[in-house]
Amino acid sequence: MAPNSPILSQLIVPERILELKPSTKEDALRILSAACAATPQVADGEAFFKAILKREAQVSTGVGMGIAIPHVKIPEVSDYVAAVGRCREGLNFDSLDGAPVNLIFLIGASDRQTREFVKILAQVTHLLKSRATREALLAAPIPHSFIEIIKSAES
């Protein structure tokens, strides 16, 4: 992936697309953080998880429409990393619209990747703005059909 042109579908790999049945937002964030921490990009999994929780305490990343996009830029991450959780029954995420969250796109980056990081967040937001895409992601078999939907939406 070229450093100046991150593509969401390249960050979302099959082993980090998870069907979640968590009881709390913190449980969901722990599971997704652990998936990211298992990659070489994350040098300190506990620091990563704590940074995600700290960011979430500032303001919920539950942006509405059943979507949450927890994200951090920290020195313990060397390059982009992402995990996706799907919670079909919905999860209380303290979302801005008060609705439960079904799709969680957790994204980490190095503290030196500001411009590209903003582009990735914009890609997620753009992708999930479409009700049809959200519904397709909720219904798709994971992981491969899920990734194909994201790739189609990018083109």
Q: Are 140 and 127 in contact (CB under 8 A)?
A: no
* Catalytic hit among 11, 17, 62, 71: 71
Which CATH number fits the domain that encloses residue 79?
3.40.930.10
As a whole number of angstroms, the distance between CA 65 and CA 73 comes to 25
Mean pLDDT to the nearest integer, 127-150:
92
Share of the chain above pLDDT 70, in %: 96
* 5 lies in some domain: no
The mean pLDDT value for 53-66 works out to 94
Q: Is residue 146 part of a domain?
A: yes
Confidence band of 6 (pLDDT split at 50, 70, 90) = low
Q: Is residue 4 part of a domain?
A: no
Question: For 78-90, how does the pLDDT look when each residue is reduced to its tens digit (9 = 90+)?
Answer: 999 999 999 999 9
| Domain of residue 107, residue span | 11-154
Active site residue 71: yes
Give the orientation angle of helix 114-129 with respect to helix 144-154, to 10 degrees. 100
Dump the DSSP string for the chain: --TT---HHHH--GGGEEE---SSHHHHHHHHHHHHHTSTTBS-HHHHHHHHHHHHHHS--EEETTEE--EEE-TTB-S-EEEEEEEEEEE----TTSPPEEEEEEEEE-TT-HHHHHHHHHHHHHHHH-HHHHHHHHHS-TTHHHHHHHHHHH-
How many structural domains is the chain composed of?
1
